[in-house]
Amino acid sequence: MKRIQALALAFIACASLAACAVDPDLGTRFRAERALWDANAEVQRLSIRPELVSEATWHKAVDMFSAIPTQYPVKGKGETATELKTVHAHALLSAARIYGTLGDSVSMLDVYARIESQYQDLPVVTGEVAFARGRLAESQSDWTGALAAYQEAMARVAPRSGDPGVAGAIIELPLRMARIRVMASHDSTMAARHQAYREAETYYHGMIAKADTLTALDARAYMADVAADQNEWDEAASQLKALEKMLGGMKPPPRDPASARLALSQLEVRSEAPADEVQGTLRSLIKDYPESPFAAQAQFALAYSYTQNGNTDQALAALDAVAGTKNVPEDLAGQALLLKAQILDHTGKWTDAQQILAALPVDHPLSEAALLAPIEVVRHYERAGDTEGAQAALAKAETAYRDFLNRYPTGPVSVMAQEKLARTLAQEKRYDLAVAEFVRLGEALGQHPAGAQYLAAAAQLALQQLGDTTRAAEILDRTATQYANRKVGQWASQEAARLRKGPQ
Amino acid sequence: MNLFRAAGMVVWAVRSAAACALRARIWVPFLVIAGIQILALVIVMNFHRGLLTPLVVPVIKGLSGPGVTHYPNFYLLLPVVFSRLSLLLSVLVTCIMVGAAIVLFAQAFGRAEHLKPWKTARKRYPALFIATAILAAGLFAVPYLGRLVPQETLLENSMVRWAARGVLFFLSILFQSLLVYAAAWILLRNEHALRAVGDSMKLTRSTFVPTFVLVALPAVLLYPLGFLSSRSDLFLNKFRPEALAGIILLQIFLELLFGFLLVGAITRIFIYQTEEAA
């Protein structure tokens, strides 16, 4: 009996010691992390078909995130308490992101203000808020606000390449800020441009010298962009060559060294270097990195360059090489076939071109080129002055887009297909249907800026082609409701009012 | 021993164990083991609740590192935590239940009728503890042999990865086979721990194929579940992380059934080899 008592006392003593050692926030932090996971999973689920989700459901998701800090309060002061506060802040950031998606920038800024006041001791979180504020300001063309917010984000968060969070995005900011300064200054002289890029240059030079290898590699790539933006082509080329050399010396390289060579060829195109020089760089890439996925891209770029020079035989050979490469991305394979069809059409081999254009939607159904193929047929008949053929091709294009949308009703390629359908209908002069398609597309895109463009296009068609002022005003009203907190929404509201008043 | 005789012995031993399936008394130790494991799982899964936190957190941190207290890392590491905890429990507690089961099976086969199963197992606890500790230490060490293979080769080459898994799996079955008779020597022949371990190895050598097959069968049948729980990242992406607890519960249930057959069959072979064959 005494032995059992002694054992029980020893157990209680051990348990008490353990209780002192364990942080009081540990269990709460675990439950808060679980609640955040659940809320994120819910948002992911809703994001599969966002067009089917009501605003009330999104607000419920916001509530899930916003409730986390109050449901799981911080008790202690240790490391776990900081982790728990980070969970709170991330939950609020997610809530702000949903407000952003809903276009409710007022609530979004409220949440940001709450984070900034409550989590000042978490630099990564406040840095993320500053970064988000910068993006918002940039989208509203508030250049001064954007520059100040980005500067704050950079001061709070150290850059770390490859990081999926804000630390991974920080390294791009000096270049972005320099571009904003150029845009904001309205001074197109080279001296003003140099002035705008000076800070970025100093920053990237410092990064190349100091940072860990991955960040230094990224800094070199951005340094090339900085130089190219100032038309300092030799400096940009030398940075890209140094980048390729660094990548080539690493085992395994964090990025394909061929990417730097491809960037060099793009730089040459941008600097309007002679075609021979561009083609030489692309050929050297194909020779030096035959197994690289960038080799197929280089072949396509080479084909494009040959086409520009009128060298169709070599262009066709390069395009065949793209088709012969293993595991070519769907889009690149489609683009290569489309370019081949265009070359064949221009060289009078319409039957061969037609075969390729007919096969494209079958062989690469989800590529952009497959959606452009029916339009290419229409263009051929228009160029040939064959009105009947063009009309028939337009009808075929319409059927092709409708078939595609039946098979793939959602996704980014479907948005493209719907846009092409609307434009085809407009070209067929079936304006009523075209307006309906543009409206459907604009509404489906929710808060995306492109949605406003499609709604505006629908209003314009209704007004100019159908002469239906009431319908145009209605569409503009819908745009105003959909983009209530944005400039475009205000513009649409004013335009609708102007239309209703009639010509002054 | 030729292969036909070995196969015959496996079938005979398993049939003898299965014939005892309707004797409720023999199931009791296995049900107690399953109960202890379920209780341990429930306690571990509720480590974040007030009273349990100070007691369980040091244990789970000790078993799998400090990252275990984060969600959903906890569920990623739960299979490792639970397998190590089970091993620990088998040394500290459940070796008594296995001991009692061996005596109960021996009685069912008409031997050791004078022994009181639970009392005998409790009395021989120190020897059972040592023998089980040696087995547990071996099983704990086997996965670490995988570190001898360069990590890069393992990640890059799936053939090497599967070969390494196969070798480690074989070694753990071999090690269990060598020590599988130790508890029977301790309880039915009253040997001390180290001698029982030595004699178990000798007995395994003389009945290698049937013993190895008997130990390997449940291990092979449970392997898919073990593999599935080791790929817990799949659960995080496709289901809720908590689904891993369901896999572990299924594992406990199957171990209950396979454990019954294995202990029964091993006891039958032990009795045959030490008494009848002589």
Whether residue A39 contacts residue A64, with contact meaning beta carbons closer than 8 Å, is answered with yes
- Burial class of A49 by CB neighbour count within 10 A (0 to 12, 13 to 18, 19+): exposed
DSSP code for B274: I
Chain A contact for B72, CB < 8 A? yes
Q: Name which residue leads in pLDDT, A414 or A273.
A: A273
- Dihedral sign for Cα B37, B41, B44, B50, please: negative
Residue type, B253: F
Nearest by Cα to A29 from A71, A91, A72: A72
Whether residue B59 contacts residue B85, with contact meaning beta carbons closer than 8 Å, is answered with yes
Whether residue A94 contacts residue A43, with contact meaning beta carbons closer than 8 Å, is answered with yes
SS3 A484: coil
Whether residue B104 contacts residue B188, with contact meaning beta carbons closer than 8 Å, is answered with no
Chain B contact for A15, CB < 8 A? yes
Q: Which of A21, A27, A28 sits opposite B58 (nearest CB)?
A: A21
Cβ of B57 and A19 within 8 Å?
no
Query: Number of Cβ pairs closer than 8 Å across A and B?
Result: 44
What pLDDT is attached to residue A503? Answer: 56
Min CA distance, A279 vs chain B (Å)?
36
Query: What's the angle, vertex CA A115, arms to CA A110 and CA A117, rounded to 5?
Result: 95
Query: What's the angle, vertex CA B277, arms to CA B275 and CA B278, rounded to 5?
Result: 65
Task: Using CA coordinates, name the residue in chain A closest to B72.
Answer: A34
- Chain B residues with beta carbon closer than 8 angstroms to that of A19: 54-55
What pLDDT is attached to residue A325? Answer: 83
Residue A7: pLDDT band with limits 50, 70, 90: low
Whether residue B249 contacts residue B229, with contact meaning beta carbons closer than 8 Å, is answered with no
Cβ of A27 and B71 within 8 Å?
no
- Which residue has 């008592």 as its token pair? A5
Q: What is the pLDDT of residues A369-409, one digit of tens each?
A: 999 999 999 999 989 899 899 999 999 999 999 988 888 87
Least confident of A203-207, B2-6, B160-164: B2-6
Q: What is the pLDDT of residues B85-136, one digit of tens each?
A: 999 999 999 999 999 999 999 999 998 888 899 999 999 999 999 999 999 9
Q: What is the pLDDT of residues B208-222, one digit of tens each?
A: 999 999 999 999 999
DSSP code for B112: -
What ipTM does the predicted assembly reach? 0.83
Q: What is the pLDDT of residues B35-52, one digit of tens each?
A: 999 999 999 999 998 888
Chain A contact for B185, CB < 8 A? no
Chain A contact for B67, CB < 8 A? no
- Report the phi/psi class of residue A252: left, alpha or beta, with left for phi > 0 and alpha for psi in -120 to 50: beta
- Chain B residues with beta carbon closer than 8 angstroms to that of A34: 71-72
3-state secondary structure A16-67: HHHHHHCCCCHHHHHHHHHHHHHHHHHHHHHCCCHHHCCHHHHHHHHHHHHH
Residue type, A325: T
Cβ of B54 and A22 within 8 Å?
yes
Residue type, A52: L
CA torsion B135-B175-B181-B263 (nearest 10°) is 90
What pLDDT is attached to residue A9? Answer: 63
Average pLDDT over residues A340-353: 93
Chain A contact for B49, CB < 8 A? yes
Q: Which of A15, A30, A33 sits opposite B54 (nearest CB)?
A: A15
- Which residue has 């960040």 as its token pair? A215
Cβ of B48 and A22 within 8 Å?
no
Cβ of B71 and A26 within 8 Å?
no
Mutate to test the interface with A, among B70, B73, B239 (most CBs of A within 10 A): B70
Query: What's the angle, vertex CA B16, arms to CA B12 and CA B19, rounded to 5?
Result: 135
Q: How many residues does chain B have?
A: 278
Q: What is the pLDDT of residues B126-138, one digit of tens each?
A: 999 999 999 999 9
User: Rg of chain B's alpha carbons, rounded to an integer?
Assistant: 20
- Chain B residues with beta carbon closer than 8 angstroms to that of A41: 240
Q: How far is CA B245 from the centre of its chain?
A: 19
Average pLDDT over residues A92-107: 88
Mention every residue, 6+ apart, whose C-beta is less than 8 A from residue B261: B14, B17, B18, B218
Min CA distance, B86 vs chain A (Å)?
21
Average pLDDT over residues A231-239: 94
Q: And the tokens for B172?
A: 């753990």
Number of neighbours of residue A14 by Cβ within 10 angstroms: 13
Question: Chain A neighbours among B 90-129 (CB < 8 Å)?
Answer: none
- Dihedral sign for Cα B244, B247, B253, B259, please: negative
Residue type, A265: S
Q: And the tokens for B257?
A: 């059934």
Query: From CA A8, how far away is CA B75, in angstroms rounded?
Result: 32
- Give the side-chain half-sphere CA count within 13 A for A39: 27
Q: What is the pLDDT of residues A108-122, one digit of tens each?
A: 999 999 999 999 889
- Chain A residues with beta carbon closer than 8 angstroms to that of B57: 18, 22, 26
Cβ of B53 and A31 within 8 Å?
no
- Chain A residues with beta carbon closer than 8 angstroms to that of B70: 29-30, 33
What pLDDT is attached to residue A434? Answer: 92
Question: Chain B neighbours among A 361-390 (CB < 8 Å)?
Answer: none
Q: What is the pLDDT of residues A171-215, one digit of tens each?
A: 999 999 999 999 888 777 888 888 889 999 999 999 988 766 888
- Chain B residues with beta carbon closer than 8 angstroms to that of A22: 53-54, 57-58
* pTM (predicted TM-score): 0.71
Nearest by Cα to A242 from A269, A226, A219: A219
- Which residue has 């709604």 as its token pair? A455
Query: Given a cut of 50, is residue A1 above it in pLDDT?
Result: no
Query: From CA A29, how far away is CA A18, in angstroms rounded?
Result: 18
Mutate to test the interface with A, among B51, B61, B68, B69 (most CBs of A within 10 A): B69
Mean pLDDT, chain A, rounded, equals 89
Q: Name which residue leads in pLDDT, A448 or A107.
A: A107
Task: Using CA coordinates, name the residue in chain B closest to A84.
Answer: B70
3-state secondary structure B174-219: HHHHHHCCHHHHHHHCCCCHHHHHHHHHHHHHHCHHHHHHHHHHHH
Mutate to test the interface with A, among B43, B48, B51, B240 (most CBs of A within 10 A): B48
- Chain B residues with beta carbon closer than 8 angstroms to that of A12: none
Q: Which of B49, B53, B70 sits opposite A22 (nearest CB)?
A: B53
Q: And the tokens for A406?
A: 């039946």
Chain B contact for A44, CB < 8 A? no
Residue type, B141: A
Query: From CA A374, how far away is CA A366, in angstroms rounded?
Result: 14
Min CA distance, B60 vs chain A (Å)?
12
3-state secondary structure A273-328: CCHHHHHHHHHHHHHHCCCCHHHHHHHHHHHHHHHHCCCHHHHHHHHHHHHHCCCC
- Which residue has 């053939």 as its token pair? B159
Residue B152: pLDDT band with limits 50, 70, 90: confident
The DSSP string of A386-417 is: -HHHHHHHHHHHHHHHHHHHHH--SSHHHHHH
- Rank A34-48, A127-141, B34-48 by mean pLDDT and report only the highest: B34-48
If you count DSSP H runs as helices and E runs as strands, how many of each does chain A have, helices first?
Answer: 25, 0
Min CA distance, A226 vs chain B (Å)?
37
Nearest by Cα to A149 from A160, A161, A139: A139
- Chain A residues with beta carbon closer than 8 angstroms to that of B45: none
Query: From CA B179, how far away is CA B132, in angstroms rounded?
Result: 9
Residue A98: pLDDT band with limits 50, 70, 90: very high
Query: From CA B84, how far away is CA B64, in angstroms rounded?
Result: 9
Chain A contact for B70, CB < 8 A? yes
Task: Using CA coordinates, name the residue in chain A closest to B55.
Answer: A15
Whether residue A368 contacts residue A405, with contact meaning beta carbons closer than 8 Å, is answered with no
Cβ of B57 and A22 within 8 Å?
yes
Nearest by Cα to A264 from A290, A251, A283: A283
Cβ of A18 and B69 within 8 Å?
no
- Give the side-chain half-sphere CA count within 13 A for A470: 0
- Give the side-chain half-sphere CA count within 13 A for A500: 11
Q: In chain B, pLDDT over 70 holds for what percent of residues? A: 98
Angle in degrees, 0-180, between the axes of helices B243-271 and B24-45, rounded to the nearest 10: 150
Cβ of B72 and A37 within 8 Å?
yes
Query: From CA B183, how far away is CA B189, in angstroms rounded?
Result: 9
* Diameter of chain A measured on Cα atoms: 109
Q: What is the pLDDT of residues A158-167, one digit of tens each?
A: 888 888 888 8
Average pLDDT over residues A317-327: 89
Task: Using CA coordinates, name the residue in chain B closest to A22.
Answer: B54
Mean pLDDT, chain B, rounded, equals 91
First to last CA, chain A: 104
Whether residue A371 contacts residue A413, with contact meaning beta carbons closer than 8 Å, is answered with yes
Query: Given a cut of 80, is residue A487 above it in pLDDT?
Result: no
Query: From CA B174, how far away is CA B167, in angstroms rounded?
Result: 10
Residue type, A268: E
Q: How far is CA B184 from the centre of its chain?
A: 15
Query: Given a cut of 60, is residue B237 above it in pLDDT?
Result: yes
- Residues A75-105 as b or e (16 or more Cβ within 10 Å = b): eeeeebbbbbbbbbbbbbbbbbbbbbbbbbb
Query: From CA A347, how far away is CA A340, in angstroms rounded?
Result: 11
Chain A contact for B153, CB < 8 A? no
Min CA distance, A252 vs chain B (Å)?
11
Query: From CA A294, how far away is CA B173, in angstroms rounded?
Result: 49
First to last CA, chain B: 15
